[in-house]
Structure 1
Amino acid sequence: MLGLPARITACLFDLDGVLTQTAQVHRVAWAQTFDSYLRDQAAVGGGEFLAFDPASDYNRYVDGRPRADGVRTFLASRGIVLPDGEPDDPPTAETVNGLGNRKNVVLLQRLRTDGVEVFPGSVDYLRAVARAGLPRAVVSASANAEEVLAAAGLTDLLDARVDGVVARAEGLRGKPYPDTFLAGAARLGVPPGQAAVFEDAIAGVEAGRAGGFGYVVGVDRVGQGPELLAAGADIVVADLAELMEQETAA
């Protein structure tokens, strides 16, 4: 009992916020990075320092997006435009990529210190999908997905991985564009209409809907169920374990 329509033959899982509890670590790392930058900007320009909100700002501008897109989108909300720079810009560079790489340094430090926790119900669901014989891929904007999966002990439960590293190498646009989910379905050898997408981010749900996927499951970790439905989720659950308690979807 997976709570999925009969037409679904493969599953595509987002990582942070769906399988692993690293979203809070990301929020803290973004807040530390943006607050430091915004504080410096306020000091130089004499303006007011308005801190990054790790709840509303993270969910609206950063969650589910590639790192550079998250930087660009959030700064635009504050009327700030930085040059993109290059993907390998040092963390000290005052560019979109430099700021994103600064955040990644903070994130990796915190992951080493705090480790990676999983959502037990979601891992139980992932194991049930594996037992049912449905192929499984993780589709994440994170460039650290391989390390996170290994630390969480989930690598062997997945057949394919499309992450920030793959997206950069293959020129795939990030969520809310469907490119990475389409690449995940292709790696599993199934058409989008036969694959289910599992996402906690609004941008990710939008990507699932834009890609014509057969079923889009919104995972509401932060009280944004109506927004996930509005973005195109077919169903919203608080945890994937809830799906195993439901009758099979029509």
Structure 2
Amino acid sequence: MTAARSRDVLTPALRGLGAVVFDTDGVITDSARVHAAAWKTAFDAFLAEHPPQQPPERASKAPPGAPPEAPSPPRPFDADDYLRYVDGRSRLDGAAAFLASRGFEPAPATVSAVADHKERLFTERLRERGVDAYPGTLRLVRALRGAGIAVAAASASRHAAELLTGAGALDLFDALVDGGEAARLGLGGKPRPDLFLEAARRLGVPPARAAVVEDALAGVEAGRSGGFALVVGVDRTAGPDTRPRLLRHGADIVVTDLAELLDDGTRR
């Protein structure tokens, strides 16, 4: 990791806070793309193995003797689905939400099977390639620590500690609340604010004096409903509608890189 830049100072929006809680995937580490790729493989495999059935009302309207009309195949999983249904959520919640969006009402065992398939794919890719931390995020974390502001990482994933360790960033955070801790404590998944509230509690700072940094729609919703003083949305996609969607779901401000929340001393 590079050394902290001595001229980095915080923008006014962050000054006076007692703590900042960072989501992990897509905010601290470049792992959201690995999650998205694993989800696509798992979901598209499920859709290929479970073709949709023709609705009974359409079959009843077919002329006598006419061959049955083939139902349209479900649209494959895409980047918008990742942002809308699974980003920031637990594996089971994300799997269930996406499958419901495609008209399926799968049994819990089916949801678990799809989620487990995704988990195996993600773990394989993580072990093969690893992930890096975003330099702009590390700069901001160091500047926060230099200003005496506590920092925590939070994630619905059980891999958060492994990701942060591999990226050389774990020691920068005063606390970590991951999917394993969430299960142990019975914390609700996003868009409920439980993960972030637990992280703030461990830092000893009330939400009204803390900020949340998130890239997921469910995550900014969680920050807003948790009563945090500031919710920062991170738009890594630079898509035409991602920024307004983050704002609509609860972000106060949206940046494409967290270094935008720093002043390197050249701006006045």
**What secondary structure, in the 3-state scheme, does the structure 2 residue paired with 1:138 have?**
strand
Q: Distance in 2 between matches of 1:22 and 1:169?
A: 24
TM-score (norm 2): 0.84
Residue in 2 that maps onto 1:92: none
**What secondary structure, in the 3-state scheme, does the structure 2 residue paired with 1:217 have?**
strand
Q: Is the 8 A contact 2:23 2:213 kept in 1?
A: yes
**What secondary structure, in the 3-state scheme, does the structure 2 residue paired with 1:59 have?**
helix
Residue in 1 that maps onto 2:97: 73
Q: Distance in 2 between matches of 1:98 and 1:135?
A: 39
Residue in 2 that maps onto 1:236: 254
Residue in 1 that maps onto 2:230: 215
Q: Which amino acid aligns with 1:106?
A: L
Name which of 30, 33, 39 aligns with 2:39.
Answer: 30
Alignment of 1:83-162 (within 5 A): 83-85=107-109, 95-162=110-177
Q: Which amino acid aligns with 1:2?
A: L
Q: Distance in 2 between matches of 1:138 and 1:98?
A: 28
Residue in 2 that maps onto 1:41: 50
Q: CA deviation at 1:120?
A: 1.0
Q: CA deviation at 1:44?
A: 8.9
Residue in 1 that maps onto 2:215: 200
- The structure that has the greater radius of gyration is 2
Give RMSD over aligned pairs: 1.8
Q: Provide Cα deviations, 1:167-203, integer angstroms capped at 9, x if missing partner.
A: 1111111111111111110011110001110001111
Q: CA deviation at 1:229?
A: 0.8
Q: Provide Cα deviations, 1:214-234, integer angstroms capped at 9, x if missing partner.
A: 111111112211111111111
Q: CA deviation at 1:5?
A: 4.1
Q: Distance in 2 between matches of 1:44 and 1:107?
A: 30
Name which of 4, 10, 15 aligns with 2:24.
Answer: 15
Number of residue pairs matched by the alignment: 238
Name which of 155, 162, 165 aligns with 2:180.
Answer: 165
Q: Is the 8 A contact 1:137 1:184 kept in 2?
A: yes
Q: Provide Cα deviations, 1:94-121, integer angstroms capped at 9, x if missing partner.
A: x222211110100010011121122111
Q: Distance in 2 between matches of 1:98 and 1:123?
A: 36
Q: CA deviation at 1:48?
A: 4.3
Q: Which amino acid aligns with 2:171?
A: D
Q: Is the 8 A contact 1:192 1:214 kept in 2?
A: yes
Q: Is the 8 A contact 2:133 2:169 kept in 1?
A: no
Residue in 1 that maps onto 2:6: none
Q: Provide Cα deviations, 1:2-46, integer angstroms capped at 9, x if missing partner.
A: 223444110100011111111111111000001111100028987
Deviates more, 1:132-141 or 1:24-33: 132-141
Q: Distance in 2 between matches of 1:214 and 1:113?
A: 39
- Which of structure 1's runs of 4+ aligned residues deviate more than 6 A? 43-46
Q: CA deviation at 1:146?
A: 1.1
1:79/1:50 CA distance change after superposition, 3 Å: closer
Q: Is the 8 A contact 2:26 2:215 kept in 1?
A: yes
Percent sequence identity is 50
1:150/1:44 CA distance change after superposition, 3 Å: farther
Q: Is the 8 A contact 1:127 1:157 kept in 2?
A: yes
Q: Distance in 1 between matches of 2:168 and 2:78?
A: 27
**What secondary structure, in the 3-state scheme, does the structure 1 residue paired with 2:10 have?**
coil
Q: Distance in 1 between matches of 2:129 and 2:88?
A: 22
**What secondary structure, in the 3-state scheme, does the structure 2 residue paired with 1:196 have?**
strand
TM-score (norm 1): 0.90
Unaligned runs of 5+ residues in structure 1 are: 86-94
